[in-house]
Structure 1
Amino acid sequence: MHTLIVGASLGGLRTAQALRGRGWTDKITLLGAEPRPPYDRTPLSKEVLLGKRSPEQLGLVPARVLQELDLELHLGTSAAGLDPASGTVVLQDGRRVGYDTLVIATGSVPRSLPGTENLTGLRVLRTVEDALAIKARLVAGTSVVVIGGGFVGAEVASAARETGAAVTVVAPGPAMMLRVLGPVLGSHMTAVHRKHGVRVRSSVFVAGVSGQDRVEALTLSDGSCIPADSAVIGIGAVPCTDWLEDSGLRLRDGVVCDERLRAVGAENIYAVGDVARWRNPRYGELVRVEHWTNAGEQARVVAANIAGESAVHDAVPYVWSDQFGVRLQIAGRIGADDAVHYVLGGPETERFVALAGHGDRLNAVVARGEVREFLRYRGLLVGNGTWPDDTVER
């Protein structure tokens, strides 16, 4: 029985580890598009930009552990196509690799700004090379524009301010991190960024980028112009499914899967991590989650199902973000119409714990700092999912 895992980042490697951890002795092949051994991308927008971690310190497992997994490892190898009927993956160089079970773990790629590919000083952030190029331009006294107010943009803005750079964030919505935090807590974190010296331009988008060989200024949708020594694009990501377009798999902003992370209509194909859009039994709908914890949890579910068990993935989403030296943690999903109740701190404090929900249903717990209290309320969310008694007057 040959298991082929396409994608050698967190989800792919953790799937291989989970299989071996279950005593799986059959052949496992792991394909990775990058030439580097599997590494952790999470520190790229944090410690790497601040020079606190080097690329050599990012490995997901030590070289010895990787070797002990007994994988057929192919790095610098990208998939170009999939033929489920014959059970083969076509590589970029034309070679074909057969499989009995396939795990799709190709992740996602950042969106870019068309027409700006040749401008020096304008980068997306996905790889080690991206992080090192951005870090080289984070110098005190320089001006950095972060395009996009999501989590990556917020983390880059935080790191850039810590280096002494002047930072402007261009956020298309009325607040930063709006998609994950909702309007109330998104506004709260936007205020935190402004308190730390970040200039936030909200409800506008970049209409144009000027410069000869390097970025020099950005024109916004309201007609204003922002000079820039460098800029970082953080306008979201799209799942890596281009190579699956002719495969016959159901694709909808990711590979559509059932609650066991099995691709719909394909008994021997699974998806894990950013590329998976699965039916979450907890929410009764298709969801896709681009977070570190989710990839690891999904890997264990996929491994269990490959090994012949029957496991579903119904975990409460969890994500964290380090900004200005304090950890922000979110468990659950916040709806746009959810009521928000602070159980510790308040809208004016940098550290807080807040609950969000609708009606009698508790939907999310958000904390900045305050780890112990976060864990307490996260337990309620994962358990019965109802508001605690002390918030009945919300």
Structure 2
Amino acid sequence: MRRIVVVGAGLAGLRAGQELRDEGFDGELSIVGDETHLPYNRPPLSKQVLAGDMEPAECAFPLDDLDATWVLGRPAAGLDTAGRVVRLADGGEMPYDGLVIATGRRAREWPGLPPLAGFHMLRGLDDAIALRDAIKSRPRIVIVGAGFIGCEVAATLRKRGLEHVTLIDVAPHPMPVLGPDFGRRATEMHKENGVRLHLSTKVERFEGESRVEAVHLNDGARLDADLVLIALGSAPNTEWLAGSDVVLEDGNVLCDERCFAVGRTDIVAAGDVAMWPHPRVDSAIRVEHWTNANDMARRAARNLLDPANAEAYAPVPTFWSDQYDAKIKAVGLWARVQQISVIEDNAEAWQLVVEGHTGDDLVGALMVNRNKAFIDYRRKLGSRYTLPQP
């Protein structure tokens, strides 16, 4: 294997490239990215960058003299697996012996969004810069979507002193994936910090002439708005794989337990765009968090170099979110939780520990301002997830 192409220049793409070099690969390494930026850290975008506490340049990852050819601002547009060629949108071609798919995801768009000024999304560095510039005029802001990004942005804007911040969601509480017990506390937290919430509510339409002026809800409410952030989750960047024999599920690259694209030994996938069978779950999973992109990319790269001795990838997923003074951390396969038990609830100190079970099996835990508990649960779940390796 003398030529490896990594498609995706984010965290997963960078870590894959670094691991290939660390494992002794000395052939041609090319990393393709649709943005013009070198790899950068995304979690600060909705927090420190938006708050003005960090400059965009500070988000850049150290490259440690990585010996790679960077092909930036030239997104992949097609894949020929028989000829082992990645086709670029500008007509260029990238031959490979081994391929890493790490194209990640983009912000999900609002279908039929009217062509008005004032709409924003937040996924990449340019989005964060545009949003930071837009809030300098201290506009009235409506955030459509109370998931992690929507809630983090709301918290950041309130800490910056913006007075008119509103969160809208069809769910009955913010961050619904974390369950109702946490959701009730999150609702209280945002209300206490001055965020206006409209939950169990849908947007009917947007009003405006040249720019957005108001958001109309299905309960009859009309919310004045100078800026609207669309925060509806994400969609996979896999259109470029259409027509190839790479198997997709819900738009994600379907892998085996060793990170190989199903049926291939020359293609691996990693990060937000990959689905794979976890031994603790009876179906393929996808984990859209920083630690998984970091860890899966390294395992995928090692396996690509030595398919005969490839190891299964069975992580203990972790993720976190900072909102106001709350350090929210979770561990395990939280999306697979069926029953929730509150273990500790100290409202005065804003501390919370919640366990998630499937039947009698502990599969996840959620903590707020309880870092020691997070470490304990990560160790406990880690011992259960360990697999024998060949």
Give TM class, smaller chain.
Answer: over 0.9
After superposition, the C-alpha distances for 1:298-320 in whole angstroms (9 at most, x for unaligned) are 01111110221312111122111
| SS of corresponding position for 2:328 | strand
After superposition, the C-alpha distances for 1:155-182 in whole angstroms (9 at most, x for unaligned) are 1111111112221110111111112x02
| SS of corresponding position for 1:319 | strand
Q: Aligned AA for 2:328?
A: L
Which residue does 1:315 correspond to in 2? Answer: 315
Give how far 1:141 is off: 5.5
- Structure 2 residue 372 is matched with structure 1 residue 375: no
Q: Aligned partners of 1:377, 1:69: CA distance in 2, in Å? A: 35
- Structure 2 residue 5 is matched with structure 1 residue 8: no
Instruction: Say if 1:189 and 1:330 are closer, same or farther in 2 by CA, change over 3 A.
Output: same
- Structure 2 residue 216 is matched with structure 1 residue 219: yes
Give how far 1:374 is off: 1.6
Which residue does 1:24 correspond to in 2? Answer: 25
Aligned length: 379
Give how far 1:139 is off: 4.8
| SS of corresponding position for 1:299 | helix
Is the 1:30–1:74 contact (alpha carbons within 8 Å) kept by the matching residues of 2?
A: yes
TM-score by length of 2: 0.93
Instruction: Say if 1:39 and 1:141 are closer, same or farther in 2 by CA, change over 3 A.
Output: closer
Which residue does 1:389 correspond to in 2? Answer: none
After superposition, the C-alpha distances for 1:64-93 in whole angstroms (9 at most, x for unaligned) are x2xx21101111110111110110111101
Instruction: Say if 1:138 and 1:342 are closer, same or farther in 2 by CA, change over 3 A.
Output: farther
| SS of corresponding position for 1:249 | coil
| SS of corresponding position for 1:331 | strand
Give how far 1:339 is off: 2.5
| SS of corresponding position for 2:381 | helix
Which residue does 1:176 correspond to in 2? Answer: 174
Instruction: Say if 1:339 and 1:348 are closer, same or farther in 2 by CA, change over 3 A.
Output: farther
> Quick one: percent identity of the two aligned structures?
38
Is the 1:140–1:163 contact (alpha carbons within 8 Å) kept by the matching residues of 2?
A: no
Which residue does 2:245 correspond to in 1? Answer: 248
Give how far 1:326 is off: 2.9
- Structure 2 residue 265 is matched with structure 1 residue 267: yes
After superposition, the C-alpha distances for 1:222-274 in whole angstroms (9 at most, x for unaligned) are 23211112111110101111111111211112011111111112221111111
Q: Aligned AA for 1:341?
A: V
Is the 1:339–1:358 contact (alpha carbons within 8 Å) kept by the matching residues of 2?
A: no
Q: Aligned partners of 1:47, 1:5: CA distance in 2, in Å? A: 29
Q: Aligned AA for 1:202?
A: L
Q: Aligned partners of 1:51, 1:276: CA distance in 2, in Å? A: 33
Give how far 1:382 is off: 2.0
Is the 1:183–1:336 contact (alpha carbons within 8 Å) kept by the matching residues of 2?
A: no
Give how far 1:53 is off: 0.8
Give how far 1:349 is off: 5.1
CA RMSD of aligned residues (A): 1.7
Q: Aligned AA for 2:159?
A: E
Is the 1:256–1:264 contact (alpha carbons within 8 Å) kept by the matching residues of 2?
A: yes
Q: Aligned partners of 1:71, 1:107: CA distance in 2, in Å? A: 20
Give how far 1:140 is off: 8.0
Q: Aligned partners of 2:262, 2:81: CA distance in 1, in Å? A: 12
Give how far 1:118 is off: 3.4
Q: Aligned partners of 2:384, 2:275: CA distance in 1, in Å? A: 25
| SS of corresponding position for 1:160 | helix
Equivalent residues in 2 for 1:1-394, closer than 5 Å: 1-62=2-63, 65=64, 68-116=65-113, 118-139=115-136, 142-165=139-162, 166-179=164-177, 181-253=178-250, 254-308=252-306, 309-334=309-334, 335=336, 337-343=338-344, 345-346=345-346, 350-384=350-384
Q: Aligned partners of 1:300, 1:284: CA distance in 2, in Å? A: 24
Give how far 1:291 is off: 0.5
Is the 1:121–1:134 contact (alpha carbons within 8 Å) kept by the matching residues of 2?
A: no
Give how far 1:353 is off: 2.2
Is the 1:108–1:237 contact (alpha carbons within 8 Å) kept by the matching residues of 2?
A: yes
After superposition, the C-alpha distances for 1:305-351 in whole angstroms (9 at most, x for unaligned) are 022131211112211111113321011133564132223x3467522
TM-score by length of 1: 0.92
Q: What runs of 5+ residues in structure 2 fail to find an aligned partner?
A: 386-390
Give how far 1:30 is off: 0.4
| SS of corresponding position for 1:49 | helix
| SS of corresponding position for 1:85 | coil
Q: What runs of 5+ residues in structure 1 fail to find an aligned partner?
A: 386-394
| SS of corresponding position for 1:216 | strand
| SS of corresponding position for 2:376 | helix
After superposition, the C-alpha distances for 1:42-80 in whole angstroms (9 at most, x for unaligned) are 111110000011111011115xx2xx2110111111011
Q: Aligned partners of 2:138, 2:69: CA distance in 1, in Å? A: 48
Is the 2:338–2:359 contact (alpha carbons within 8 Å) kept by the matching residues of 1?
A: no
Q: Aligned partners of 2:108, 2:313: CA distance in 1, in Å? A: 28
Q: Aligned AA for 1:103?
A: V
Q: Aligned partners of 1:187, 1:139: CA distance in 2, in Å? A: 31
Give how far 1:136 is off: 2.2
Give how far 1:373 is off: 2.2
